[in-house]
């Protein structure tokens, strides 16, 4: 990386340049002929729910991961719920998860009837702190749900050790970590199951809601599929009550068109992150994301930490640069979890970070000059 500030754009460009937070349209523009053809194919066959496209997607996704089973679902929230339910988790049980995540992670635990037990994050990596996980284990703990937040793996060495020691299964929330690795093994392959989301803005995004579960456990795979299809593997043969969580043919066709690009899109995210790293590391007020040893970061989000976060976001917004906050209120501090009676000081790191984290524009099509424009603006703000 030998790019320097000012090397690929002219000062006048600043006035016009807009940097969106994500740009789904840019990806469609690149793939238009094949996406349009895939959508037309589904309409021609009129296989709108399930069908060949969905089956083919499940096979291709399983192949990509070298995993025995991929079960498509309607969304990543359902994927988590299906796994937890089919592990037999319910009232009286406890499930440990992380204080900083999207609410799907904790919501689905409560939906089973179990109690959510929140754990603080590691200061360097934003992911669940294994040392505290171990302290939170009781005789009622039935699962641990780590989230590979922002696209980086949790400490799977420590979590696997805890899982083995106490014989408690790990359910991985991989909604932000498609293809991220830890010790050369992909996230989603460490726990009893990996839960994925294909929400449009995720690293692999459908044109609506979609998700899946991967697992190498034959018996669980069958249960996941059955529960997600009204408790029936054969039509009209309901072995249990389940839920309706199926993938649309249209979503499967779009996902199949995009899947071959996932690796190169990931590499493009990583190269943009390297540029951010390089240019932002010179600004003392900004903490850039740290990559865990033995792991790859797939940068679903590029998240910096800084004081005066809100002023910086406002300043960037004025320059036409969109940012996000993931997440502005840690889950235990949300009104929805008021009943747990926590204070923000119970989760000191997550509670401190909620007012310091800022997600910068990140998507594969983001150009080098856009990254440069963003970094330049942050530099201007920080030197003021
Ligand atoms: C997106 C997301 C989910 C839920 O996925 P949906 O497909 O939107 O239901 C779950 N967990 C995390 C961490 C997510 O980012």
**Cα separation of 106 and 48, whole Å?**
31
Mean confidence (pLDDT) of the chain = 95
Q: What is the pLDDT of residue 129?
A: 98
pLDDT tens per residue, range 267-304:
999 999 999 999 999 999 999 999 999 999 999 999 99
Ligand 1 pocket, residue 76 CB under 6 Å = yes
pLDDT in tens, 300-345: 999 999 999 999 999 999 999 999 999 999 999 999 999 999 999 9
Q: Give dist(CA 36, CA 26) in Å, integer.
A: 15
Q: Which residues contact 18 (CB under 8 A, 6 or more apart)?
A: 320, 321
Closest ligand 1 atom to 202 CA:
1
Q: Is the CB of residue 175 below 6 angstroms from any atom belonging to ligand 1?
A: yes
For residues 81 and 105, the answer to whether their CB atoms sit within 8 Å is no
pLDDT of residue 16: 63
Residue nearest to atom 15 of ligand 1 (CA): 175
Torsion, Cα 19 22 25 27, to 10 degrees, reads: 110
Cα gap 28→38, rounded to integer Å: 13
Contact criterion met (CB below 8 Å) for 84 and 96: no
Could you tell me which residues come within 8 angstroms of residue 151 by beta carbon, excluding any fewer than 6 positions away? 176, 177, 180, 203, 269, 297, 298, 299, 300, 301
> What's the pLDDT at 5?
38
Nearest Cα residue to atom 2 of ligand 1: 175
Pocket test for ligand 1, best of 74, 102, 198, 350 (most atoms within 8 A of CB): 102
Q: For ligand 1, atom 7, which residue shows the shortest CA distance?
A: 76
Q: What is the DSSP letter of 114?
A: P
pTM assigned to the model: 0.95
Atom of ligand 1 nearest to the CA of 210: 7
Burial class of residue 31, CB neighbours in 10 A (0-12, 13-18, 19+): middle
């Amino acid at each position: 990386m030998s790019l320097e500030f000012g090397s690929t754009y002219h000062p006048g460009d600043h006035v016009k340049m807009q940097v969106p937070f994500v740009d789904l349209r840019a990806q469609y523009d690149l793939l238009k002929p094949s996406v349009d053809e895939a959508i037309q194919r589904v309409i021609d066959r009129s296989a709108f729910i399930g069908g060949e496209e969905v089956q083919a997607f499940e096979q291709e996704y399983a192949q990509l991961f070298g995993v025995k089973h991929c079960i498509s679902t309607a969304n990543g929230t359902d994927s988590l719920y299906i796994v937890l339910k089919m592990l037999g988790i319910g009232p009286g049980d406890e499930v440990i998860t992380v204080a900083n995540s999207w609410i799907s992670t904790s919501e689905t635990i409560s939906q089973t009837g179990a109690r959510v037990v929140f754990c603080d994050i590691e200061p360097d990596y934003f992911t669940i702190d294994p040392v505290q996980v171990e302290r939170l284990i009781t005789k009622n703990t039935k699962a641990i749900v780590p989230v590979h937040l922002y696209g980086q793996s949790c400490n799977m060495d420590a979590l696997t050790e805890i899982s083995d020691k106490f014989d408690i299964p790990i359910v991985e929330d991989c909604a932000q970590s498609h293809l991220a690795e830890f010790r050369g093994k992909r996230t989603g392959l460490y726990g009893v199951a990996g839960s994925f989301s294909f929400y449009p803005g995720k690293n692999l995004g459908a044109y609506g809601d979609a998700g899946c579960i991967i697992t190498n456990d034959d018996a669980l795979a069958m249960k996941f599929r059955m529960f997600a299809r009204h408790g029936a593997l054969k039509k009209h043969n309901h072995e249990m009550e389940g839920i309706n969580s199926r993938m649309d043919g249209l979503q499967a066709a779009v996902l199949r068109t995009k899947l071959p690009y996932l690796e190169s899109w990931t590499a493009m995210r990583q190269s943009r992150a390297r540029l951010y790293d390089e240019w932002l590391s010179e600004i003392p007020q900004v903490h850039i994301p740290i990559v865990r040893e033995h792991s790859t970061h797939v940068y679903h989000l590029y998240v910096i930490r800084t004081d005066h976060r809100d002023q910086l976001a406002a300043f960037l917004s004025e320059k036409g640069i969109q940012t996000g906050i993931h997440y502005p209120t840690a889950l235990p501090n949300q009104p929805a979890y008021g009943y747990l009676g926590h204070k923000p000081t119970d989760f000191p790191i997550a509670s401190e970070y909620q007012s310091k984290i800022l997600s910068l524009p990140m998507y594969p099509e983001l150009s080098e000059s856009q990254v440069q424009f963003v970094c330049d603006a942050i530099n201007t703000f920080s030197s003021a």
